[in-house]
Amino acid sequence: MTRLSEAIDQQTLTAELAEVRLDQAIVAVRGHELQLASVRRLVERRLAERRGEAQRTDQKQNDELAARMAWSRLAAARSNEV
């Protein structure tokens, strides 16, 4: 009976240790998930910044092209008047 009792005690201890390890692993996973979420937000914010920069660059180029075309039409109209 003593052996059986010792085996039960050892199995109980093993199960308790496994539960503690599981709890520690859950805490670690949650911490990593929080870090991952933070990195994802950072990446999304930087991508949005890059998209905004690209849109501003495109708009600037379009504005400059429109201004050059307007000046060209104005110059052509003046040369036709002379």
Tokens 């849109």 appear where?
55
Mean pLDDT, rounded, for 60-77: 93
- Tens of pLDDT, residue by residue over 10-62, are 999 999 999 999 999 999 999 999 999 999 999 999 999 999 999 999 999 99
Residue 67 has pLDDT above 90, yes or no: yes
Residue closest to 48 by CA, chosen among 40, 37, 36, 38: 40
pTM: 0.63
